Structure 1
């Protein structure tokens, strides 16, 4: 089954984050029930892949001021049929930042979030089942702002808190700060 690798990653994530059991359970149920979970055309929702992009020493994270949602967020997007969600996160990181060189950090999923996306044009309101990975920018960190963003910005984890009050962003800040502790 093309969904099994993601289900395996979700199971590993659940073991590391028992405090997130309700979200992980909803995520697993969705992936098991929906054979087309990686397809944007699945109107109730779909799996997306995101990147918490950090600089070489991990002191800064790259955020996008998302054009459609008008909020500061991590970079990411639709799987469009791709079951390798890490590959989706890498593709989206490259497309949305213009950066080319990344290495995954850690062993698997960094964070999970299920959030509503408002109706827009012919698309009804739906859910994004967002799988988030940490990617370290290993080359040039001079980004290019794509059409999908109003702006991009390298910020410290503390500055993320100044840009957004969204719990999912603040949760990633807490996780990243905890990962930097000796």
Structure 2
């Protein structure tokens, strides 16, 4: 898996200087850490996320995460039996949304983010090196899992404000730019 991740990371084109710094930090970690996907790696680990677009690609599905008490994209930890990071992102999206007809738009990375996770109970502070993939839903209905307070479809245009989570804002801007470029 480590070699696959290095290839994905080296092929990714960051959107801005902030994402470029996250990409370099993640590439450095993955290159030097054999068990980079294992939760047992206490300094941090690779996680897999899904930026899920509505069928008309005007909204993104966000989760109000229970543990972090923030609105975020869906995603989480990789399992030992995940065939790829893309499969992990899709699995996490399905588990957290109840949606099983999600389409992976492209196998390439959509976004990269490295962020600190605060210590909780028996888990020390550590980093998540989050690899994000673009998925599209075929329908709008979802179910809220035990990991979330709620899920919501949010208009992309409202997510571009820098006052929101910066990485959510960056992904919304990328999505809107791609729509604009396609016209």
Indicate conservation of the 8 Å contact 2:102/2:135, yes or no.
Answer: yes
Indicate conservation of the 8 Å contact 1:64/1:153, yes or no.
Answer: yes
Instruction: Give matches, 1:82-161, under 5 Å.
Output: 82=82, 84-138=84-138, 140-161=139-160
Indicate conservation of the 8 Å contact 2:61/2:152, yes or no.
Answer: yes
- The equivalent residue for 2:175 is 176
- The equivalent residue for 1:79 is 78
SS at match of 2:124: coil
Indicate conservation of the 8 Å contact 1:46/1:128, yes or no.
Answer: yes
Q: 2: distance between equivalents of 1:23 and 1:55?
A: 27
Indicate conservation of the 8 Å contact 2:54/2:60, yes or no.
Answer: yes
Indicate conservation of the 8 Å contact 2:86/2:107, yes or no.
Answer: no
CA RMSD of aligned residues (A): 1.7
Q: Name the TM-score, length of structure 2 as normaliser.
A: 0.91
Q: Name the TM-score, length of structure 1 as normaliser.
A: 0.91
Q: 1: distance between equivalents of 2:118 and 2:165?
A: 16
Indicate conservation of the 8 Å contact 1:6/1:83, yes or no.
Answer: no
- The equivalent residue for 1:37 is 36
Tell me how far 1:18 sits from its aligned partner: 7.1
Q: 2: distance between equivalents of 1:39 and 1:107?
A: 22
Indicate conservation of the 8 Å contact 1:49/1:89, yes or no.
Answer: yes
In structure 1, list runs of 5 or more residues that go unmatched: none
Tell me how far 1:17 sits from its aligned partner: 4.6
